Every structure is written in C-alpha cells, then in structure tokens.
C-alpha cells in the first residue's frame, strides 16, 4: 500500500499556554502570512493526506476551537484538562486513536513551517513497517531539544534535554517534536508512557524506547531546521513570518511574477499573482487577493480581498479593500480607496477618490476627488455609474444613486438624485461674478485698520 492510500489521523497539539507570547490571545491564533498558525498546520496536514484531523486544546479555548473549525469544518476537537505532557495530550484524542487508522501524525499548533512533502516523508516508513518515525534536525543550538540516541543508524531512544547526561547532551541530532506512529500500535505505546522524569510529564518521546523494547523498528526523517521552527515568543513569530514570506515570494517569482524588490513585498498565504504581473517595491497583500496576468501593482499599495483583472494598473499609493473587483485594463491611481466595488474594463479612477459599494461601467472616468457617500451612520447604500460616464472632479455622489451610461456630472457636484443616460447633471449653485469687488473690499479693509 502506498502511503497515500493509507488512512491517516493527524493530531495537532495546541494545549500549550504560550506564556512567553505575553498575549491575551492563545498562541496558535497568532498569524503568519495572515493566517493563524493552527490554520497553516491544518491546511498542510490536509494537503499531506490526513483523512481525519483532531486538535487538542486547553480548557476554555473556544476561540481555538472556532478557528480550527473555520480552517477545517470536520475537525475533531479534544480538550486536555490538565497539561501533563505531550503523550498525555495525544491521549486526549483516545477516541479517534481507537479507530486504529493506518497512520497517525503528531503535529504541533505552534510549528507552522512544516511542508506538505515533509509530512509525506515522515509517514512513508510506516508503510514499510516502522512503528515510530521521528522528525529529526540538526539545530544551530541544540540546547533545550530532545536528543536522538542512535546506534548503527538505528534510533534507540529520545532523551529530553533536562534528563540527558553530559555525553547525551553533546549529541547534535535533535527531535523536531513531530512524529508519525503506526496506527494499530499507537495506543499501546502511549499507554505505556510514564512520568518518572525531570519534568514529571508524560513524554511522547518515550514511545521510541517503548517501541524498541517491544521489538519494533523505528526510523527518523531528517528535515531542515526551518521546518521545525517553533514559535514561543514574538521574536520567533517574526522569524516564522520572515521565513514564510521568503517562501511565498520565491513561489510567486517561480510562477512568473516580477517582484522588483522581493524583500519589500508582503504576501498572504493565499495571494495569487498571475504570470507577468509586476509588483513594484513596498506593496502589501492582505488575505484574499488575486491578480490576473499582466497587471501592474505600483509602489506603496495595500490590497486585501481584491481581484485585479489582466492589464489593470493599481497605485502607486492605492488601497483596495474587500470586494474590490478591478476590470481588465482599468486604472486605479494614487490615493484612491476602493471597497466592495466593481470597476469595469478600461475605467479610470486616477486620483484621490473613494468608491464604496458601487459599480462603475466600462470606460467610465471618475475625476479626482470623487466620493461615493455610501453610509449614513446606520446603513450602506449603492452607487451605480454607467458605461462611459464622466464624473467631474470633486463630486459627491450621495447613495443610493444611479449615474446613467454616458452621463456627465459637472465638477464639484453634490448628486442626490439619479442622472439619466447621456444627460449632464450640475449639482452645485451657479457661479456668481461681481466685477471690481476685490478693489472695493481692500479699500474698506485698509480704512478700517487706519492705514
């Protein structure tokens, strides 16, 4: 049987306290690339072929449960009532372990950088009969990690740092914490784990020695340190962000996007950049952005929840908010904010404009300083601007309002009623001119000051 055909239960441990984050928010809900750490882990496990996934949370952590369900609706949640160690945490999911899946993967909710292929690599030896597979790595600084005790290439045991002798501490091959376990053995091995050690905890790592004593084979999968990077504090969170950004930028460039200065562009886990997209320096992509081939995102733009069609130009200094849909070859210029608005093909919004809850037809031109007044403090209203319409500069469009196809709105208008197609609307007072008024005014002003 190949490992993909085998059933696989993934258990994500997330009952830690995360004290060092100094946060009101549970550690695993902190985000990297705009997705919670536990969200990343659940997504990767699903890609790696987990057929059932469980998350072990601490008591009262409904927020973690909610986030886990948002990421993976059929996830199973188990509460670890007391934090008695990693083996004890895994056994909180006893109910699903009892179903004896072919493979069991143990992952950590605060270790978000493990790649899909790596979980596959971790599972692979199970298909060949190994009882336990340990994710191993060679850290720059091994202190604090469990050490892998090997002989003739065989993994014999894992010794936690606190329990290790000086000689054992000199071992540089360490436990990344993540494991794969043969499903029909998992409960037997875990139930034999005791807590006679320096921390008085039930260590998951003890199952290696237990498996060996029962005559089973164990294996290791060596991975780069980056993948087992765990987040315990804000500095490690920033490190995780840096590493994930590097991956996302590389993937975007490999897919044919130009990032002029990649280190200045921030992507989200789900940012999609088409071929020949150009992203200038200093652009931030929040979640939910799709940029179709050939569009250009100029510097200092901030985009989230937006779709940008082929050949469109955004920025510099543009802000696209959720629900912005920019049509092919449309242009969004500097200091323009667009929310929940469809901008038609070839439409132009070149400067200093707010469009919210609107639709703008193809080839329409929205002048500088146009504002859709979409909110009265209680409700939001829509503005519809037709194809080829021309909205003069500094106009306020008080929604709900419709500007017909091909209509003109004079500069400085306050438009409160709909404008028919091809009409001109002047929503402002007539200009008044008083010849010589300024001369008279200055004379009076000087006299009053006694000059």
Give the interface with ligand UD1 as residue ranges (CB under 6 A): 13-16, 56, 80, 83-86, 88-89, 108-110, 145-146, 158, 160, 174-177, 203-205, 230
Among residues 177 and 274, whose Cβ is nearest to Ca ion? 177
Annotate 32-44 with DSSP letters as a single string. Answer: ETTEEHHHHHHHH
Task: List, by residue number, the catalytic residues.
Answer: 351
Q: Which stretch binds Ca ion (CB under 5 A): 129-137, 226-234, 251-259, 348-356?
A: 226-234
Q: Which partner, Ca ion, ligand UD1, none, binds residue 13 by CB below 5 to 8 Å per kind?
A: ligand UD1
Q: Which stretch binds Ca ion (CB under 5 A): 33-41, 153-161, 190-198, 228-236?
A: 228-236
The DSSP 8-state label assigned to residue 200 in this structure reads: -
- Taking the complex as a whole, how short is the minimal distance between the CB of residue 199 and Ca ion, in angstroms? 12
CB 374: neighbour CB atoms within 10 A? 23
Q: Which partner, Ca ion, ligand UD1, none, binds residue 363 by CB below 5 to 8 Å per kind?
A: none
Alpha-carbon span 5 to 51, nearest angstrom: 10
* 297 three-class SS: strand
- Taking the complex as a whole, how short is the minimal distance between the CB of residue 115 and ligand UD1, in angstroms? 17
Alpha-carbon span 341 to 358, nearest angstrom: 5
Site membership for Ca ion, residue 311 (CB under 5 A): no
Q: Which partner, ligand UD1, Ca ion, none, binds residue 108 by CB below 5 to 8 Å per kind?
A: ligand UD1
Among residues 16 and 361, whose Cβ is nearest to ligand UD1? 16
Name the token pair of 357: 């809850």
- Taking the complex as a whole, how short is the minimal distance between the CB of residue 174 and ligand UD1, in angstroms? 5
CA distances, 178 to each of 227, 444, 450 (Å): 11, 86, 88
User: Sign of dihedral through CA atoms 33, 8, 52, 204?
Assistant: negative
Site membership for Ca ion, residue 230 (CB under 5 A): yes
Among residues 27 and 302, whose Cβ is nearest to Ca ion? 27
Q: What angle do CA 326, 331, 336 make, to 5 degrees?
A: 85
Contact 4, 100 (CB under 8 A): no
Q: Which partner, Ca ion, ligand UD1, none, binds residue 304 by CB below 5 to 8 Å per kind?
A: none
- Taking the complex as a whole, how short is the minimal distance between the CB of residue 116 and ligand UD1, in angstroms? 20
Q: Which stretch binds Ca ion (CB under 5 A): 32-40, 98-106, 225-233, 324-332?
A: 225-233
Return all residues near 98 (Cβ < 8 A) that are at least 6 apart.
187
Q: Which stretch binds Ca ion (CB under 5 A): 36-44, 223-231, 378-386, 389-397?
A: 223-231
- Taking phi first (over 0 means left), then psi (-120 to 50 degrees means alpha), and beta for anything else, what does residue 131 get? alpha
Name the token pair of 228: 């087992």
- Taking the complex as a whole, how short is the minimal distance between the CB of residue 154 and ligand UD1, in angstroms? 18
Among residues 27 and 307, whose Cβ is nearest to Ca ion? 27
Q: Which residue is nearest to Ca ion (CB)?
A: 230
CA distances, 428 to each of 88, 172, 425, 431 (Å): 73, 77, 9, 9
- Specify the DSSP element, H or E, that contains 403: strand 401-403
Among residues 13 and 244, whose Cβ is nearest to ligand UD1? 13
CA-derived radius of gyration, the chain? 31
- Taking the complex as a whole, how short is the minimal distance between the CB of residue 142 and Ca ion, in angstroms? 14
Summarize as ranges the residues that interact with Ca ion (CB under 5 A).
230
């Amino acid at each position: 049987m190949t490992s993909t055909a085998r059933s696989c239960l993934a258990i994500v441990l997330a009952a830690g306290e995360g004290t060092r984050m100094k946060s009101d928010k549970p550690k695993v809900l902190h985000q990297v690339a705009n997705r919670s750490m536990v969200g990343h882990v659940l997504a990767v496990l699903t890609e790696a072929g987990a057929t059932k996934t469980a998350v072990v949370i601490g008591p009262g952590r409904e927020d973690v449960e909610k986030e886990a369900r948002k990421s993976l609706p059929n996830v199973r949640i188990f509460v670890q009532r007391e934090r008695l160690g990693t083996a004890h945490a895994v056994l909180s999911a006893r109910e699903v372990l009892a179903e004896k899946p072919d493979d069991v993967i143990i992952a950590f909710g605060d270790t978000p950088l493990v790649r899909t292929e790596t979980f596959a690599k971790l599972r692979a030896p199970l298909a060949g009969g190994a009882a336990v597979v340990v994710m191993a790595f060679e850290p720059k600084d091994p202190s604090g990690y469990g050490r892998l005790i090997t002989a003739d290439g065989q993994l014999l045991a894992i010794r936690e740092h606190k329990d290790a002798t000086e000689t054992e501490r000199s071992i540089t091959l360490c436990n990344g914490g993540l494991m794969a376990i043969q499903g029909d053995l998992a409960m037997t091995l875990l139930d034999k784990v005791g807590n006679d050690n320096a921390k008085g905890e039930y260590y998951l790592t003890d199952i290696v020695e237990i498996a060996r004593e029962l005559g089973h084979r164990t294996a290791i999968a060596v991975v780069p340190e980056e993948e087992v990077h765990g987040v315990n504090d804000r500095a490690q969170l920033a490190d995780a962000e840096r590493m994930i950004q590097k991956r996302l930028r590389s993937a975007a460039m490999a897919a044919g996007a130009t990032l002029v200065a990649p280190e200045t562009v921030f992507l989200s886990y789900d940012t999609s950049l088409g071929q020949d997209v150009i992203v200038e320096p200093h652009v931030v992509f929040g979640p939910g952005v799709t940029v179709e081939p050939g569009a250009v995102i100029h510097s200092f733009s901030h985009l989230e929840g937006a779709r940008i069609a082929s050949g469109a130009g955004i920025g510099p200094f543009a802000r696209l908010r959720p629900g912005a849909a920019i049509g092919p070859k449309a242009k969004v210029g500097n200091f323009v904010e667009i929310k929940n608005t469809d901008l038609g093909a070839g439409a132009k919004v070149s400067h200093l404009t707010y469009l919210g809850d609107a639709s703008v037809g193809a080839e329409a031109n929205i002048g500088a300083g146009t504002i859709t007044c979409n909110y009265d403090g209680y409700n939001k209203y829509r503005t519809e601007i037709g194809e080829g319409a021309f909205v003069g500069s500094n106009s306020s469009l008080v929604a709900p309002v419709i500007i017909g196809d091909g209509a003109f709105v004079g500069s400085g208008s306050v438009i409160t009623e709909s404008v028919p197609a091809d009409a001109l609307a002047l929503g402002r007072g007539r200009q008044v001119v008083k010849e010589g008024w300024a001369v008279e005014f200055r004379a009076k002003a000087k006299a009053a000051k006694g000059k």
